[in-house]
Structure 1
Amino acid sequence: MTSSPSTGPDHQAKRPLSGQDIRTLVLSALGGALEFYDFIIFVYFVVVLGKLFFPPEMPQWLVQLQAFGIFAAGYLARPLGGIVMAHFGDKAGRKRMFTLSIFLMALSTLGISFLPSYQVIGYAAPILLLSMRVLQGAAIGGEVPGAWVFVSEHVPGRHVGLACGILTCGLTSGILLGSLVATAINTIFTPADILSYAWRIPFLLGGVFGFASVYLRRWLQETPVFKEMKARKELAAELPLKVVLHRHTPAVIISMLVTWFLTAAIVVVILMTPTLLQKPPYGISAPLALEANVAATFFLSIGCVLSGALSDRLGGGRVLAVGSVLLGIATYALYTLVPARLDLVVPLYAAAGFTVGVIGAVPFIMVRAFPPAVAFTGVSFSYNVAYAIFGGLTPLFISLAMQLDPLAHAHYLLLIAALGVVVGLMVRPPLHAAAKTERVGARA
């Protein structure tokens, strides 16, 4: 069989990165960071939103439950949005869907900033908030896998890992930006001011940033891989999702497992740990926990780029396997040593964050698992379904498990590290070769 455009001579796999490649990576990473900021900023203000968008006479526990339910709705909407956008991305072009995703995110985030509260419009307020959150979920479902496929098809084949690592660094930087903006809002404004009007500022910023990214993405070009497939009439003739499910089941399984790994590392180490550190047996102050989290997220971004670059040289499977061992060691050290040595929380959390950066190898593994004709759909379906399941269940599972085992979070990450080692060893060249040698579902 012939080689695919993504790795064959037509794509000039061995050429160095060009200025156009670098511009594409920068614009894609910047847009990804701002879009992920838009998606994640909701969680930093979920308590405030609960107070504003639900009846004041409702019990507080029920208010928070429903507010977090609206937050979770964004995760549940990811698969549908991702599958729809991926379908058209494989049929009509990567760039169109890549731009549409950030437009929808900007529109919905800006919409949240202008929503009236329950006091003004009653039960229509939480319904509108839910609608905006679902739209956010649909947008992010198309953005992340679409961005990975987009950059991997633009750069030379020998730099795909680096490109995916840089883009993943951009996505995680969105978490850091959200944390910094939330900290600034809570520092500058009083709680009363935040409830009155200041809560709108981070969403307004997100909308403005998003539309700026839409404008910047006008300068991006369609990927050479897609243009070549279209010229040769090699686009998927069948429904891309049908092709993926019927002919690429092993690739789907591998991709969902590495997404589980990615989700656990991000959710537990980056999103949940600041709250866990403020509770027994740690008892760390909120400012110190936030400082440590900022350090961890910063080093996470560096780790993403490094692991992506190493994937180009060593292979994604090897990087994932070795990085998983380091992740297990670093996180277990963080959770077991800090109770006795509070002064070590920042360096230990930073080290743990750096090892979480092994997730930079995950998109490399996924984009190489599927042939170009269905790459967008394959990555999107696997990633979004797995993320919806594990992203929603992990916090609940950890919270319940800690009632029986105070170190459940540490033990869960050891399990995830073991999973990473096993999956890393399963990722062999034949999996990567699917993208090199097969053109399933392509027109003759």
Structure 2
Amino acid sequence: MTAQETPLSGATGTADPAAPLASARTTPAFRRLVVASSLGSAIEHYDFFIYAFTAPIVFDTFFFPKMDSVASMVAVYATFAVGFVARPLGGMVFGHYGDKIGRKAMLMMTFLLMGIASFLIGCLPSYDRLGLFAPIALVTLRFVQGFAFGGEYMNAVSLTLENAPSGRRGFFASWVNASGPMGIIAASGLIAGLGALYSREEFVNWIWRVPFLFSFVLVLIGTYIRAHVDESLLFRQAKAESKVARMPLLEVFANWKLATLRGCLANMVHSTFQYMSTVFVLGYAVKTLGMAPSSVTSGTMLANILEMFMVPIIAAYSDRFGRRPFLILGIVLAAIWYPIFFELVATREAWLLIGGLVVSIGVIHALMFAPEAAYTAELFPTSIRVSGSSLGKQLGIILGGGIAPLVGTALMGKTGSFTSVIIYFEVIAALALIAVVLAPENAKKALR
């Protein structure tokens, strides 16, 4: 650990006993900011997850018809992973400028990029009509989606966290996370509804485009809302005092490697658990077990409704008891539950699958996800907060959830058993648990 990194035990400043007792009152401007950050995140999650829910059902035959069933699914999950490969790049670029120019400007840019890319995916012709250019265009737009999403999250969290009352940082920052399930609910609910109203053939032929095209309307709404929020108070103070880092990302690489690793592992475990439990299971249940896609999408929707309410409640308690206890509990429960969940999937019983998803996402994932926003952001000071937390966050997401469906499909294709998939997750859980246990608790320290 370098001398500069020593403040990690108080990366957010020295202990401030009065911080949790600070005024919890909020202004109308701050409430608008929370809504703008949260609603924007919900819309971006909607854009991201309509791809996640549609790709395993449609894109193997639509964009990769020349491959056998296993190879085409691997190709689909590879395009899914491309979005995650782009996320660290987006996190680095938009994190750098978020620390240099401001959080608000970056949020406007990321939102427009995400919405436009999603709309254009809905306009793409099939492989049969465009040939190889169809999957190339899909991969390109998927990259743009990931690039924008990577720059979105920690700018939104930092903007909210840095304006929040000191004793309620975790609660208000968690609204960015809680809004994610709102977008997932909208995506899964719309796809489940369309799947119920139209035949499978109609859905595969053209109905799948509707959720992507609807992104255009959401972009207009989100852009208007985000244009009417204020910049971070702490960032404006740092800029007025000339404390803005000249090269934020280089400072992170030089002096905050351990903090970045801690953020990476915390995000790696919860995202692996989430995407393996939803996206991978969706493809496996539909393609291998022959279950109706609505079983998984409906289960995912119910699970995210529960998580949407659980996240702010857990985060509020994390302001009182700390971020680490809830992260640790979530990781331990995830490791115990994971093999049980896959046994439920193997039964092919829709109600067991739905119940398993509710427990997995609505309860266990919520325990890890609720304190994660504040936990990651509090590892870094204001001058490099977006750059450092974005890098840790997005590296964790790509190494976790980004490749999880691809790895799961490859492991199942070789062994035909869930055992290798379970072992894969348990190793990630063990590494994350060690990192969180050894990390400092910053919940009650003043931001600096």
Scaled to the shorter chain, the TM-score interval is: 0.7 to 0.9
**Distance apart, 1:304 and its partner CA:** 2.0
CA distance in 2 between counterparts of 1:232 and 1:13 reads 24
CA contact (8 A) 2:274 2:401 kept: no
Q: In structure 2, what is the equivalent of residue 235 of structure 1?
A: 244
CA contact (8 A) 2:327 2:371 kept: yes
Q: In structure 2, what is the equivalent of residue 48 of structure 1?
A: 58
Question: In structure 2, the residue corresponding to 1:209 is in which secondary structure?
Answer: helix
CA contact (8 A) 2:81 2:406 kept: no
Closer/same/farther in 2, CA of residues 188 and 26 from structure 1, 3 Å limit: same
**Distance apart, 1:87 and its partner CA:** 0.9
Unaligned runs of 5+ in 2: 1-6
Q: In structure 2, what is the equivalent of residue 104 of structure 1?
A: 113
CA contact (8 A) 1:176 1:298 kept: yes
**Distance apart, 1:195 and its partner CA:** 4.3
What does residue range 288-437 of structure 1 map to in structure 2 within 5 Å? 288-336=295-343, 344-353=352-361, 354-358=363-367, 359-402=369-412, 403=415, 405-429=417-441, 436=447
**Distance apart, 1:4 and its partner CA:** 7.0
CA distance in 1 between counterparts of 2:169 and 2:347 reads 43
Q: Which shifted more, 383-392 or 406-415?
A: 406-415
CA contact (8 A) 2:34 2:172 kept: yes
CA contact (8 A) 2:174 2:371 kept: yes
What does residue range 80-229 of structure 1 map to in structure 2 within 5 Å? 80-229=89-238
CA contact (8 A) 2:100 2:245 kept: yes
CA distance in 1 between counterparts of 2:50 and 2:396 reads 22
Question: In structure 2, the residue corresponding to 1:45 is in which secondary structure?
Answer: helix
Q: Output one character per residue of 1:45-86: Cα deviation in whole Å (capped at 9) or x when no partner.
A: 3253444445x6565655544443333221111111221111
**Distance apart, 1:17 and its partner CA:** 3.0
Q: Output one character per residue of 1:147-174: Cα deviation in whole Å (capped at 9) or x when no partner.
A: 1112111211221111222211111322
CA distance in 2 between counterparts of 1:410 and 1:212 reads 41
**Distance apart, 1:113 and its partner CA:** 2.3
CA distance in 1 between counterparts of 2:309 and 2:442 reads 29
**Distance apart, 1:296 and its partner CA:** 2.1
CA contact (8 A) 1:319 1:424 kept: no
The higher relative CO (CA closer than 8 Å, separation ≥ 6) is in 2
CA contact (8 A) 2:262 2:436 kept: no
Q: In structure 1, what is the equivalent of residue 258 of structure 2?
A: 250
CA distance in 2 between counterparts of 1:369 and 1:81 reads 20
CA distance in 1 between counterparts of 2:355 and 2:63 reads 39
1:267 aligns with 2:275: yes
What is the letter of the counterpart of residue 322 of structure 1?
Answer: L
CA contact (8 A) 2:178 2:311 kept: yes
CA contact (8 A) 2:291 2:348 kept: no
Question: In structure 2, the residue corresponding to 1:228 is in which secondary structure?
Answer: helix
Q: What RMSD, in angstroms, separates the aligned Cα atoms of the two structures? A: 3.3
**Distance apart, 1:298 and its partner CA:** 2.1
Q: TM-score, normalised by structure 1?
A: 0.86
**Distance apart, 1:275 and its partner CA:** 4.5
CA distance in 1 between counterparts of 2:263 and 2:444 reads 12
Question: In structure 2, the residue corresponding to 1:193 is in which secondary structure?
Answer: helix
Identity between Structure 1 and Structure 2 (%):
26
Q: Output one character per residue of 1:360-407: Cα deviation in whole Å (capped at 9) or x when no partner.
A: 111211110000000000011111122222233322333344427534
**Distance apart, 1:269 and its partner CA:** 2.3
**Distance apart, 1:250 and its partner CA:** 1.4
What is the letter of the counterpart of residue 319 of structure 2?
Answer: D
Closer/same/farther in 2, CA of residues 106 and 94 from structure 1, 3 Å limit: same
Q: Which shifted more, 157-166 or 395-404?
A: 395-404
1:74 aligns with 2:86: no
What is the letter of the counterpart of residue 273 of structure 1?
Answer: V
CA contact (8 A) 2:159 2:232 kept: yes
CA distance in 1 between counterparts of 2:131 and 2:43 reads 31
What is the letter of the counterpart of residue 182 of structure 2?
Answer: S
Q: Output one character per residue of 1:250-299: Cα deviation in whole Å (capped at 9) or x when no partner.
A: 1111111111112112112233334455689x886554444333322222
CA distance in 2 between counterparts of 1:62 and 1:272 reads 15
CA contact (8 A) 2:22 2:166 kept: yes
CA contact (8 A) 1:316 1:424 kept: no
CA distance in 2 between counterparts of 1:40 and 1:247 reads 35
Q: Which shifted more, 361-370 or 405-414?
A: 405-414
**Distance apart, 1:100 and its partner CA:** 0.7
Q: In structure 2, what is the equivalent of residue 442 of structure 1?
A: none
Question: In structure 1, the residue corresponding to 2:214 is in which secondary structure?
Answer: helix
Unaligned runs of 5+ in 1: 438-444
What is the letter of the counterpart of residue 388 of structure 2?
Answer: G
Q: TM-score, normalised by structure 2?
A: 0.85
CA contact (8 A) 2:280 2:408 kept: no
CA contact (8 A) 1:299 1:350 kept: yes
CA contact (8 A) 1:321 1:422 kept: no
Equivalences, count:
433
